[in-house]
């Protein structure tokens, strides 16, 4: 399986709201979900998902988190990933995720690492230049965790929380412009290191005035929206 994923990564086309509440970190152990997963099989690849509320799926069931949906959708296409190990927390900025990775003292590496971070840096009003420094640190760690192979890393762009009902009293144009600037940095630094970049920001903006794409807090995205992101990740990277 690993050979198949790396081969397809080589030919990929390069083209992820303000988190407010704090919740405990959730780390999901790698477990077999059914008989098709075999820890000793070369056809099963390990998967680490790094991020914030979008990755942990604030407000949605575990099965509706986009990393979990990615595993299930790939299984339909005979690409078998272990259940994702998720290191993410609602409200985390780049430096907070970086600190959590260090605290976890991870000793193993993974066949696939995804990284979706940055919305809280924007929400807290941090300068883009500051974000760039911390994002580079995170991306470097993600590559190391992906067996030192940038081809095994997928960076997902920051979605636009400005389209949420929660943001109706905010300056939505300002939010969108700032998120675009942060994503420009993410894409530039990602491609400079030969990792994968998937832009889901335009997809997230389809949620404007569409309540089905949000959970009950009217801020975080629903499983339906995450499913659209997964489709784009698979289209570009698998």
SS (H, E, C) 45-93: ECEEEEECHHHHCCCCCHHHCHHHHHHHHHHHCCCEECCCEEEECCCCC
Q: Which residues contact 122 (CB under 8 A, 6 or more apart)?
A: 18, 131, 158, 175, 178, 179, 182
Instruction: Report the pLDDT value the prediction gives residue 146, as an integer from 0 to 100.
Output: 98
CA angle 235, 48, 150 (to 5 degrees): 65
Tokens of 209: 């005035």
> Each residue's pLDDT tens digit in the chain (238 positions)?
443 433 333 333 334 334 444 334 444 443 334 443 333 345 799 999 999 999 999 999 999 999 999 999 999 999 999 999 999 999 999 999 999 999 999 999 999 999 999 999 999 999 999 999 999 999 999 999 999 999 999 999 999 999 999 999 999 999 999 999 999 999 999 999 999 999 999 999 999 999 999 999 999 999 999 999 999 999 999 9
pLDDT of res. 43 = 79
Query: What's the angle, vertex CA 230, arms to CA 103 and CA 140, rounded to 5?
Result: 35
Q: Would you kindly state where each structural domain of the chain is located, as residue ranges?
A: 2-30+41-237
For residue 26, the SS3 value is: strand
Classify domain 2-30+41-237 by CATH number.
3.40.50.1110
The owner of tokens 């975080």 is 220
Q: Are 162 and 219 in contact (CB under 8 A)?
A: no
Predicted local distance difference test score (pLDDT) of residue 24: 41
Which pLDDT belongs to residue 38? 37
How many Cβ atoms from other residues are within 10 Å of residue 178's Cβ?
Answer: 20
Pairing of strands 196-198, 80-81: unpaired
C-alpha pair distances (Å), 142 with each of 42, 103, 146, 193, 211:
22, 15, 6, 11, 34
């Amino acid at each position: 399986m690993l050979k198949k994923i790396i081969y397809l990564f080589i030919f990929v086309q390069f083209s992820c709201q303000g988190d407010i509440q704090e919740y405990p970190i959730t780390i999901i152990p790698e477990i077999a979900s059914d008989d098709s997963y075999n820890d000793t099989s070369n056809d099963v690849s390990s998967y680490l998902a790094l991020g914030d509320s979008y990755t942990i799926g604030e407000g949605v069931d575990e099965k509706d988190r986009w990393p979990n949906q990615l595993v299930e959708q790939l299984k339909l296409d005979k690409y078998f990933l272990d259940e994702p190990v998720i290191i993410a927390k609602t409200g985390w900025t780049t430096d907070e995720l970086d600190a959590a990775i260090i605290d976890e003292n991870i000793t193993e590496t993974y066949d696939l690492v995804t990284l979706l971070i940055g919305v809280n840096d924007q929400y807290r009003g941090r300068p883009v230049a500051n974000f760039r420094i911390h994002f580079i640190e995170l991306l470097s760690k993600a590559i190391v965790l992906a067996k030192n192979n940038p081809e095994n890393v997928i960076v997902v762009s920051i979605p636009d929380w400005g389209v949420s009902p929660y943001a109706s009293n905010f300056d939505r144009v300002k939010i969108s412009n700032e998120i675009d600037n942060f994503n420009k940095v993410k894409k530039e630094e990602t491609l400079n290191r030969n990792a994968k970049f998937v832009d889901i920001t335009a997809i997230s903006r389809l949620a404007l005035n569409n309540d089905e794409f949000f959970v009950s807090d009217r801020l975080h995205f629903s499983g339906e929206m995450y499913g659209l992101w997964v489709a784009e990740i698979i289209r570009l990277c698998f």
